[in-house]
Amino acid sequence: MSEANIHDGRSCYLDDEASRPWFERQWSIWPVRADNELTTNISFHYGGVLAYRELHKREPALSDDFRSCVEWHDSHS
């Protein structure tokens, strides 16, 4: 787990509204890539999930595979 990647993902989701649909699509189809040119770093995406929770006060739609990654991060953060 990379704290820097978590921070970067959280900041990106909060500060760049245009990136939010990409994050949300990626989370729902993980491990398939929403855009083959962009990263699928789990810690980065977990930071986005934290930001989503903060903004929306609910859980985002997650694929089963990504949900297990988020649960792991939740238990180790």
Within 10 Å of residue 67's Cβ, how many Cβ atoms?
Answer: 16
Q: Helix, strand or coil for residue 76? A: helix
| Count of domains for the chain | 1
What pLDDT score was predicted for residue 73? Answer: 96
Domain housing 45: 3-76
How far is residue 70's CA from residue 72's CA, in Å, rounded to a whole number? 5
Residue 36 has pLDDT above 90, yes or no: no
pLDDT one-digit tens code per residue, 1-29: 699 999 999 999 999 999 999 999 999 99
* C-beta separation of 6 from 47 below 8 A: yes
Residue 76 has pLDDT above 80, yes or no: yes
